[in-house]
Amino acid sequence: MPTLVIIGHGMATNRLLETLGKDHPFSSIIVLSDELNAHYNRLMLSLLLAQETTIDNITPHDETWYQQRRIDCRFGCRVQAIDPQQRTLHIRQNNQQHTLSYHTLVIATGASTVIPAEAYAFDNQMGFRQLSDVERLSAFAQQQAHVTVIGGGLLGIEAAVGLTQQGAKVTLLHRNPVLMNRQLDHTASEILTHALQQRGIEVQCGAQHIQLIPDNKQPKRIAAVAFQHDDRTHRQPCDLVVYAIGIRPNKQLAEAAGIPCGSGIIVDQWMATGCDAIYALGECCEFEGNTYGLVAPIWQQVEVLAQQLQQPDNATHTTRQAQPYVEQDHLTKLKVSGINIHSMGRISDEEGDEQLELQAAPYGLYRKIWLRNGRIQGALCVGDVSLSPWLFEQLIEQRDLTEQGYTALFGATQPESGV
């Protein structure tokens, strides 16, 4: 009976194990994780940092669950090399090396935080990715440290809020003039900035030429961050710098094994890599030039791969039975309690778009839809997100809302009287 080996025990692997269920065709599934603790929900680390949940609440399964599915989880176990010819892995665990054979291999190694080269010279900088990061961030916050978070995307904002809630004084620096600029427009960013400032976070959008200033007495310590804003140079003293400027797929293992890679590990529409019996999914992979940073597309990838793995012996390139993976639009939600923001599709003006908008910015309310030929291309809900599931459905189904006119701003129900 064949063995399935999975490298990495993050969000993609957990979803794959749940989807494969108890009736999978493998004698056993071995999951190799370089983290020391059992699988937890990485998305919820923001809420853990904000002290709004506990580690128990974000740990979905106990030992029995894994046993019932013939899953053998190995922690603190780093895969150092893949040998696709011999179908073996070289592993380091507890300072010992050993090899492990596989019949089918899934690489789900995720991604790493981008840390600029100049920051490696310093000890008081870090990313926000793992459970161990929450522990370190909390220790700084509880000493009322001054933390500079660099990067005002989803992750940087959630880190800034969590740190503030634990007592840190936080400055959030973002290069773009618009916070979460992939998901928000200027108005939504202004509302969000105001909400963050009300929580005590100092927000600096449009911060340019960000530089780390070393401590004169302790050269491995950052004393301050300098940046330019409005043609002036600012100097912000800090005890810790947290980077949230992007992620990079963990493709090194695959690349060293000769598996074709671009920015990530290249997969086809069935999540197969260029090597026999080796699949990849999640943030480590690349499909049609796209890499990933949110779970929604990964859940779709899991559906495709789980179907594929149900027939381990006939899963060749010519006998694929699973539905292929296709790119779709996704709904992004900011996870900060009291600040509701949902964003979907394309959030930018293009010639030929019709834009519908409803605004009460002083009350934190804003809704905007970008339409083309009556079909939603993108939408934003700030404050009141109750319409977001309906808008998302119209976007995915590409329904023609021409007849509905401006009432699309209110959803399926039309107001009783016209304007």
Ligand X SMILES: Cc1cc2nc3c(=O)[nH]c(=O)nc-3n(C[C@H](O)[C@H](O)[C@H](O)COP(=O)(O)OP(=O)(O)OC[C@H]3O[C@@H](n4cnc5c(N)ncnc54)[C@H](O)[C@@H]3O)c2cc1C
Which residues contact ligand X by CB under 6 A?
Answer: 7-13, 32-35, 42-43, 45-46, 78-79, 108-110, 128-129, 155, 250, 253, 282-284, 293-296, 298, 335
User: CA-to-CA distance for 185 and 187, rounded, in angstroms?
Assistant: 6
Least gap, CB of 75 to ligand X (angstroms)? 10
Measured CA distances, 14 to 17, 107, 182 (Å): 5, 13, 27
Least gap, CB of 80 to ligand X (angstroms)? 7
Nearer to ligand X, 227 or 325 (CB): 325
Q: Which amino acid is at 107?
A: I
Contact 208, 227 (CB under 8 A): yes
Least gap, CB of 334 to ligand X (angstroms)? 8
Helix (H, G, I), strand (E, B) or coil at 291: coil
Least gap, CB of 201 to ligand X (angstroms)? 17
Burial category of 128 from C-beta neighbours within 10 Å (exposed 0-12, middle 13-18, buried 19 and up): buried
Neighbours of 11 (CB within 10 A): 21
Nearer to ligand X, 254 or 408 (CB): 254
Least gap, CB of 168 to ligand X (angstroms)? 16
Residue 86: name the closest of 62, 102, 75 by CA. Answer: 102
User: CA-to-CA distance for 152 and 158, rounded, in angstroms?
Assistant: 9
Nearer to ligand X, 45 or 371 (CB): 45
Rg (C-alpha) for the chain, rounded Å, is: 23
Q: SS in 3 state form for 79-137?
A: EEEEECCCCEEEEEECCEEEEEECCEEEECCCEEECCCHHHHHCCCEECCCCHHHHHHH
Least gap, CB of 38 to ligand X (angstroms)? 11
Nearer to ligand X, 78 or 199 (CB): 78
Outline where DSSP puts E strands in 163-231. Answer: 169-174, 202-205, 208-214, 222-229
Least gap, CB of 362 to ligand X (angstroms)? 28
Least gap, CB of 284 to ligand X (angstroms)? 6
Nearer to ligand X, 32 or 376 (CB): 32
Maximum pairwise Cα distance, the chain: 75
Least gap, CB of 278 to ligand X (angstroms)? 14
Paired tokens of 325: 């993976």
CA contacts within 13 A on the Cβ side of 224 = 8
Contact 364, 382 (CB under 8 A): yes
Least gap, CB of 279 to ligand X (angstroms)? 13
Nearer to ligand X, 227 or 279 (CB): 279
Q: SS in 3 state form for 281-334?
A: CHHHEEECCECCCCHHHHHHHHHHHHHHHCCCCCCCCCCCCCCCCCCCCCEEEC
Nearer to ligand X, 137 or 195 (CB): 137
User: CA-to-CA distance for 303 and 281, rounded, in angstroms?
Assistant: 11
Least gap, CB of 14 to ligand X (angstroms)? 8
Nearer to ligand X, 249 or 364 (CB): 249
Nearer to ligand X, 284 or 371 (CB): 284
Residue nearest to ligand X (CB): 10
Nearer to ligand X, 309 or 408 (CB): 309
Strand order of the β-sheet with 104-107 is: 71-74, 28-32, 3-7, 104-107, 278-280
Nearer to ligand X, 91 or 207 (CB): 91
Q: Which amino acid is at 274?
A: G
Contact 316, 139 (CB under 8 A): no
Helix and strand counts by DSSP (H, E) for the chain: 9, 25
